[in-house]
Structure 1
């Protein structure tokens, strides 16, 4: 299925917009959620802290109210007496009610009961409501419980139970002197819990949120539901309150979020509780709003992206249709869009190009025959240029060898070197024949090996495996020596060892001639082999760069000259692998020139100059 530019533009726009909207939406949602959580926790903290502060102040007011009883002489005398006289049994209690308890009732009308129980077994009490019923026996019997539950430092203690139902009981140990720790009795007050709940009724926590108070033993002191007041808090929830004191936490069982704060003064834990779904409702609204907004923005953006894509695609399609007509040979002009934008300028440039191409094609047709002659001349020039690309480094190195031998020793070897070099130079600069015999090419290789053996300072026998009947076959001049030189240069980079060899072979098959140059050197890596194969497929030789890479100029030079002389179906192929040696094959037509009757073998000087010449025959190496 063909993909269109309009579809790609639409998809890219959709991806960009979707990613942008998603990133913005997710970031906005997360930041809003975190900020809302912080604000909610901060609000609950303020509510609970304010409630705790007012509750502590309220309770401290009753602690101050009981201080007046500690300074009363009647109270001291009542606690110190141990007799059962009329004075101690009736007169003193009456004085305490009149001078101590009644003034406290007047100043604090919410107090419903106040009592004083001495360790000496006597007790006195007064009530502020006629419906309450309390007697001395009950107070005396509760003395041990009161001692155990009240604090030993004489501070006010909030009790878990009361003598009258529905009231909040406060009690403290008292002594004969205000600063003494030798306690002699218990002073207690009970007040209507409804008076205290007025402090908390103003706390509003939404439709289903509420505020409640638990004492340090898990008993509910206050709850919006009056049926729960005085009951023990659920064990698991009470454990969570203790583990998350003064922190925000979520009760997964009930699905409610809670914030608790414990009062150091009263020992009460004040808790604000909200349903998690109600707490998260603003966040869900934000998420829903974000999704709707992003979806709407995406739809609008996609519509705009589609329209934008069409404004680009329509002129491009016109250009495409015009190009298709041009491919068929119809030089078609593309109509302008009329918008005078970049697309119009592009269409205008295309129309100008088409007009110029039409003119150029006419000129090409008119000059085609003339260009054929120029093409032939250019091929001849390229062929000669390729011949001149013989690597000069070998000649430079040879001259250096000649100079060294000439300076160091007076030897006949220098004559062989100079003679071989002269032969090679004359052979290289010949321009009369491009097709010569195999024997002549082997002779050129023989002179090359004469020089190379002096450079190696050792004998290296080429293995020539060519039947005698092939010596008069024709091949391109200067095709063997560059490839043999390549073998020494690249196959044996670390020096020549006894086991190294270079073998030249030749076969004929179906009218074609195949000459192979094989070595057992380091081989050629697979990547380099693929690169050479690609370069050998080029119709024209590559421009020469400064460096000589493995199998570079010499190989390509020979390949292109063979193709120029015999045609494109002939040339050079390379096979090999790293560590397994390399084989270069020359593919040429199998033919013999009519004017050559015998091979031009090198003249043998009989060893007069110090080195006998070697016959061109197969060698076992």
Structure 2
């Protein structure tokens, strides 16, 4: 993939443009889905609160109706007389029983009504109660209260009920004369809870003091979870929607409180319910993003190829161009940047064609000059033959110094005037250096001594020729001869690390000032920029420029010198084997 990406500008543009378009498009899709989820959650909360409000109204009506009925019953004259009379009036008991039965049958949410006298008269109830799970020990019998849910078994069936308990007092002296219990059918309450029409499926609980009175959820969590839920709801005094993990599912909890009894009506809407409702929207969003992505990819490919096409043609033409043949001209169909680039390319081709024609003319002229140079080789050969004659004449006359000097001069000139390769072996360069010093030792006897230390293993490796001799000449002429009659010393030392040869040429002559050494370094820099050597110090500057041209900046001459302490020149060159 990376190689494909790096292969062409077209591939890179396609990737970058697709990322620039598809990434925001994907982010927009994710944002839209998130907003839809958020709005769905908010809508479910509002819908749930509305449904709970309706349910609260219904339950409060039932509770208030039972409360009003209890007030009516405890003040009823027949009930008061029955609770005060000690002779057990049967007729009055039947009248009260019939009245209570009518009330019970007219109110479907009332399971039973029980009146318990304290004067040992029989209890009165619409349906005889056989057993009950109600525990009165936790309640204050002197006041009105509502019980939690419990089981009550009568002569007909066993049912879950919630009872309202109210003490009955005499209307004359306010003495306690009995108790009234009105049993609320828990099944009717659950039917009301199940009738709640949440927009999303959820659970509804009616709780009192931590216990569940009624619920439409058939799989209630454990008592500890119920207690935690009630504690959370009870502390939510402003009745705001909250998030809670109910029965293992993240859910939205909405609550309200029934006035008068303090019961907590709780609506529970699992997240997965309205998330499931949004899957259709998610599917539509995904399909829209895919269609948009395919459309974008098609448009990007079309426009990128339309823009990059001329550039690709230009690249192909450049890669296939051969300076030795005619370079094909490209046709520009626009005046934009790419069109201007193609026009510039065509102009460059014309320039190249013109330069090639000029080079061909120069090469033709160079061949003519080479023929003239070949004819001029007669003069050096004439010089070599003349020096050879002088050498033999000196030998015949037994002039050893003259013979030695002429022989060295002949070898020196033959090496210097040779128009062969620019490179020679280290051994040849040293031989040329020794021929030069032989001539100079005859000219200036006892003026200097040359000491050479170069590893023998580099003798057959190649270096730039005519490099050491100009440096030795500089040491003799400018360093040792001006020092007087004393014999000076010149050292040539080299170190070899299998790659580079580190050379140092030093003398113990008069040296030079720091200013003159700095001036010489500045001349080196000027020669490097101008590539022409003119003016003083020609020998050193010429060697420095030749080293730079052949080896680069690593071979630049480095000069250190002090007055009356001599001069040291260092440079580094790579050696080659051929």
TM category (shorter chain) comes to 0.5 to 0.7
Is 360-369 or 167-176 further displaced after alignment?
360-369
**How far off its partner does 1:61 sit?**
1.6
Q: Which runs of 5+ in 1 are unaligned?
A: 128-132, 372-436, 439-465, 481-503, 519-534, 544-556, 577-582, 590-621
**How far off its partner does 1:36 sit?**
2.8
Contact in 1 for aligned 2:314/2:330 (Cα 8 Å)? no
Contact in 2 for aligned 1:112/1:191 (Cα 8 Å)? yes
**How far off its partner does 1:4 sit?**
1.8
More helix by share: 2
**Corresponding residue number in structure 1 for 2:195:** 202
Describe the superposition over 1:183-221 as per-residue Cα deviations: whole angstroms up to 9, x where unpaired: 442212235556555644432347964545455464553
The change in CA–CA distance for 1:325 and 1:107 in structure 2 (over 3 A counts) is closer
The change in CA–CA distance for 1:23 and 1:574 in structure 2 (over 3 A counts) is farther
**Corresponding residue number in structure 1 for 2:505:** 515
Contact in 2 for aligned 1:566/1:588 (Cα 8 Å)? no
Describe the superposition over 1:146-194 as per-residue Cα deviations: whole angstroms up to 9, x where unpaired: 5755665324546523454447443222242679996442212235556
**How far off its partner does 1:117 sit?**
0.9
**Corresponding residue number in structure 2 for 1:172:** 165
Question: What TM-score do you get using the length of structure 2 for normalisation?
Answer: 0.56
Is 37-46 or 210-219 further displaced after alignment?
210-219
**Corresponding residue number in structure 2 for 1:28:** 32
**How far off its partner does 1:281 sit?**
0.9
Q: Which runs of 5+ in 2 are unaligned?
A: 237-241, 367-435, 438-446, 452-468, 480-488, 496-501, 509-521, 531-537, 561-566, 574-578
Contact in 1 for aligned 2:528/2:545 (Cα 8 Å)? no
**How far off its partner does 1:341 sit?**
4.4
Secondary structure of residue in 2 paired with 1:474: helix
**Corresponding residue number in structure 1 for 2:90:** 90
- Is 1:572 equivalent to 2:563 in the alignment? no
Counterparts of 2:199 and 2:40, CA distance in 1: 16
**Corresponding residue number in structure 2 for 1:280:** 275
Taking only aligned residues, the RMSD between alpha carbons, in angstroms, comes to 5.3
More strand by share: 2
Q: How does 1:40-119 map to 2 (within 5 A)?
A: 40-79=44-83, 81=84, 84-86=86-88, 89-90=89-90, 93=93, 96=96, 101=100, 104=103, 108=107, 111=110, 113-119=112-118
The change in CA–CA distance for 1:109 and 1:26 in structure 2 (over 3 A counts) is closer
Describe the superposition over 1:63-115 as per-residue Cα deviations: whole angstroms up to 9, x where unpaired: 01211223334444444x3x6325xx4365456557x7478569747545322
* Number of corresponding residues: 419
Of 144, 148, 153, 1:154 maps to 144
Counterparts of 1:154 and 1:204, CA distance in 2: 33
- Is 1:16 equivalent to 2:16 in the alignment? no
Of 338, 353, 374, 2:333 maps to 338
Counterparts of 1:256 and 1:565, CA distance in 2: 84
Counterparts of 1:55 and 1:585, CA distance in 2: 111
The change in CA–CA distance for 1:336 and 1:73 in structure 2 (over 3 A counts) is same
The change in CA–CA distance for 1:175 and 1:507 in structure 2 (over 3 A counts) is same
The change in CA–CA distance for 1:328 and 1:58 in structure 2 (over 3 A counts) is same
**Corresponding residue number in structure 1 for 2:255:** 261
Is 192-201 or 6-15 further displaced after alignment?
192-201
Counterparts of 1:536 and 1:26, CA distance in 2: 70
Contact in 2 for aligned 1:559/1:572 (Cα 8 Å)? no
- Is 1:352 equivalent to 2:347 in the alignment? yes
The change in CA–CA distance for 1:313 and 1:109 in structure 2 (over 3 A counts) is closer
Contact in 2 for aligned 1:212/1:223 (Cα 8 Å)? yes
Secondary structure of residue in 2 paired with 1:68: helix
**How far off its partner does 1:62 sit?**
1.2
**How far off its partner does 1:134 sit?**
1.3
Contact in 1 for aligned 2:86/2:119 (Cα 8 Å)? no
Describe the superposition over 1:446-483 as per-residue Cα deviations: whole angstroms up to 9, x where unpaired: xxxxxxxxxxxxxxxxxxxx964589932299999xxx
Counterparts of 1:144 and 1:224, CA distance in 2: 24
Question: What TM-score do you get using the length of structure 1 for normalisation?
Answer: 0.53
**Corresponding residue number in structure 1 for 2:8:** 4
